[in-house]
Amino acid sequence: MRLAKYLADAGIASRRKAEELIIQGRVRVNGAPALEKGYTIVPGVDQVEFDGRLIEKEESIYILLNKPAGCISSVYDPQGRPTVLALLKDVTQRVYPVGRLDYDTEGILLLSNDGEFSNLMMHPRYETTKTYQALVRGIPGEKALTTLRQGMELEDGRTAPAEVQVLNQYEDRARLEIKIHEGRKRQVKRMCAAVGHPLIELKRTAIENLTLRGVAPGEYRFLSPGEVQSLKDKALRHRR
Ligand code: URA
């Protein structure tokens, strides 16, 4: 197994970051620095140390959380706001959010200690479909919907095409369903604002075919091995 994957699986860093740690000489195998990013090891036989600490491969866990609004989806917040980790009552492993949801966004968030899985879910090349329900100001017309669907210029580049449909129309607002493969910072918020329909509320309702069914806000469940495998298989089919 590649050393970088081993480190990623142990929750030390993403695979790419682990390669940097290897090149920096911070990783030792059987007492000697491993300085090549493609270094391979035999798990359970070779002893791996990171910054002098022995690394043992943790059991991989995969959590589906229904993130409520009003908490932050990172492991630490310098402003002291509550993080999603505080919601995981009986989880002893060090897990990380797979991607981000904004402080005021609610809905499905995966957390895991499997760096390789996180990379598969987050990297745009694997085209993981994320479904959002966006309550926006005003009623978007065909022009705005077409712009959202075809892709649009944002300050960090053009967005990929999205699937967009209007779920409900109210007097002065509308609820849209938006499916995207990318995961740029505040992407849905910026897309809606750019077509003149700022967000009022945002909820992520699905990641691929995983939904919030049976998981109330603030609660979570573990993914089954079959669910994890099917997410991985789906991502790898999209490898370009
Ligand atoms: N897009 C956003 O604007 N916010 C999120 O939290 C997720 C996607």
| Residue 14 confidence class, pLDDT cut points 50, 70, 90 | confident
Residues 36 and 96 in one domain: no
Give the active site residue among 102, 104, 114, 233: 102
What domain count does the chain have? 3
Residues 108 and 83 in one domain: yes
Residue 46 sits in a domain of what CATH number? 3.10.290.10
Give the residue, by CA position, lying nearest to ligand 1 atom 2.
186
Residues 118 and 133 in one domain: no
Residue 64: CB within 6 Å of ligand 1?
A: no
Domain of residue 35 covers 3-54
pLDDT in tens, 175-185: 999 999 998 99
**N- to C-terminal Cα separation, the chain:** 23
Residues 40 and 84 in one domain: no
User: What spacing in Å lies between the alpha carbon of 136 and ligand 1's midpoint?
Assistant: 13
pLDDT in tens, 95-148: 999 999 999 999 999 999 888 899 899 988 888 999 999 999 999 999 999 999
pLDDT at 153: 95
β-strands 199-207, 106-112 pairing: parallel
- Which among 74, 105, 204 is the best mutation to test ligand 1's pocket, defined by most ligand atoms within 8 Å of the CB? 105
pLDDT at 42: 86
Q: Which residues contact 51 (CB under 8 A, 6 or more apart)?
A: 26
pLDDT in tens, 193-225: 999 999 999 999 999 999 999 999 999 999 999
Which tops the pLDDT comparison, 11 or 78?
Answer: 78
Residues 145 and 193 in one domain: yes
Residue 230 sits in a domain of what CATH number? 3.30.70.580
| Residue 239 confidence class, pLDDT cut points 50, 70, 90 | low
Residue 186 sits in a domain of what CATH number? 3.30.70.1560
Considering only 8-12, 189-193, 194-198, which range has the smallest mean pLDDT? 8-12
Residue 189: CB within 6 Å of ligand 1?
A: yes
Q: What is the 3-state secondary structure (H, E, C) of the chain?
A: CEHHHHHHHCCCCCHHHHHHHHHCCCEEECCEECCCCCCECCCCCCCEEECCEECCCCCCCEEEEEECCCCECCCCCCCCCCEHHHHCCCCCCCCEECCCCCCCCEEEEEEECCHHHHHHHHCHHHCCCEEEEEEEECCCCHHHHHHHHHCCEECCEECCCCEEEEEEECCCEEEEEEEECCCCCCHHHHHHHHCCCCEEEEEEEEECCEECCCCCCCCEEECCHHHHHHHHHHHHHCCC
Residues 119 and 232 in one domain: yes
Residues 39 and 141 in one domain: no
Residues 136 and 196 in one domain: yes
Atom of ligand 1 nearest to the CA of 199: 3
Residues 135 and 70 in one domain: no
Element (H, E) at 206: strand 199-207
- 156: annotated active-site residue: no
Residues 118 and 149 in one domain: no
Q: How far apart are CA 111 and CA 222, in angstroms?
A: 10
Residues 190 and 224 in one domain: no
Structure tokens, 216? 């109330």
Most confident of 5-14, 32-41, 75-84, 200-209: 200-209
Residue 186: CB within 6 Å of ligand 1?
A: yes
- Which among 188, 200, 203 is the best mutation to test ligand 1's pocket, defined by most ligand atoms within 8 Å of the CB? 188
Residues 114 and 224 in one domain: yes
